[in-house]
Amino acid sequence: MRQPAGRSARRSGGERKPREERWAELIEVATQVFYEKGYDGASLQDIADRLGMLKGSLYYYIQSKEDLLFDVISTVHRDGLAVVRARAEVEGSPLEKLESVIVGHVEHTCRNLVPTAVFLHELSALPIDRRKEVLGSEHAYQGVFRDLIEQAQRQGDVRADLDPRLAALSVLGSTNWVYRWFRPGGAFTPEQIGSELAEMSIRGIATEKALAARA
C-alpha cells in the first residue's frame, strides 16, 4: 500500500500499516466534511465522529489537518489527471484528442462534484510549496491541454495568434465552472454537457481549415 503524502513517517518500520480500505474511507469522509464545512470550519473531531473513531486514532494516519487536506487534494488531482491523460491517448489528430480530453474532463467533473468543489475551493488553504507539490512544477493537469493545443497549432489546426497557455487556461476555466451549476438528474446529462462544451471550446480556438474539415 502506498504511504499517503501527509501520513506520519514517525512510526517504526515494523508497525502494522493501516488497511487500504480504511484509508480510502478516511479520504472520502474528510472530503465530504471539508465540502460541507470548509477547511477552516472543519475539525479533525468532525471527521473522527463521522468515521466512528476516536480523534486520537486519526494520528495513526496523519500528523495534522493540513496533511489530511493535502492528501484529499492530491487524490482529487491524481484521479482527474489520470482521466485526461487517458483521454489524450485516443486515436486521432491533436485537435480530436483535445476534444476527447475536454469531454472526459467535463464528464469526470459532473460525476465528482464534491471532490471537485473541495479541490477548487480549498487548494489555496495549503501553503504555496504544498500546492506546487500537488500541481507539479509544470502544472501537469493544465499541461495536458496546453500540449495538445501546441501540437494542433503546429499542424495548423489552432489559430496561430493564440497563446497555448492562455488558450488552455480559458478552456479549463470555462469547463471547470460546470461544477457550480450541474445537478445530477437535471435537464442535462454529463455526456451532453461534455460534448457541447467541447464543441464550443474547439470552435473558439480552431482555424477555419480545421473547422471545415470537422464539418
36: left (phi over 0), alpha (psi -120 to 50) or beta: alpha
pLDDT of residue 137: 72
155 in any annotated domain: yes
CA dist 73 and 158 (Å) reads 32
In this structure, which amino acid lies at residue 182? F
Residue 31, in any domain of the structure: no
pTM of the model: 0.86
User: What region does 108 belong to: left with phi over 0, alpha with psi -120 to 50, or beta?
Assistant: alpha
Q: Is residue 142 part of a domain?
A: yes
Domain around 128: 76-214
- Looking at the DSSP bridge assignments, the partners of residue 158 are 206
CATH number at residue 187: 1.10.357.10
Q: Helix, strand, or coil here: 206?
A: strand
Question: What CA–CA distance (Å, rounded) separates 208 from 42?
Answer: 51
Q: Which residues, 6+ apart, have CB-to-CB distance to 45 below 8 Å?
A: 55
Question: Which residues is 44 bridged to in the sheet?
Answer: none
DSSP 89: T
Alpha-carbon distance of 211 to 215, in angstroms, equals 6
Would you say residue 34 lies in a domain? Answer: no
Q: Does residue 2 form part of some domain?
A: no
Three cell numbers, residue 106:
467535463
Number of compact structural domains in the chain: 1
pLDDT of residue 17: 44
Q: Are 150 and 162 in contact (CB under 8 A)?
A: no
For residue 158, the 8-state DSSP code is B
pLDDT at position 20 is: 81
Answer yes or no: is 206 within a domain.
Answer: yes
Residue 102 lies in a domain: yes
Mean pLDDT by 10 residues, the chain (215 residues): 44 49 92 97 96 91 94 95 96 96 97 96 95 87 96 97 96 94 94 96 95 87
Asked if the structure places residue 127 within a domain, the reply is: yes
What one-character DSSP code corresponds to residue 17? P
Supply the pLDDT for residue 139.
87
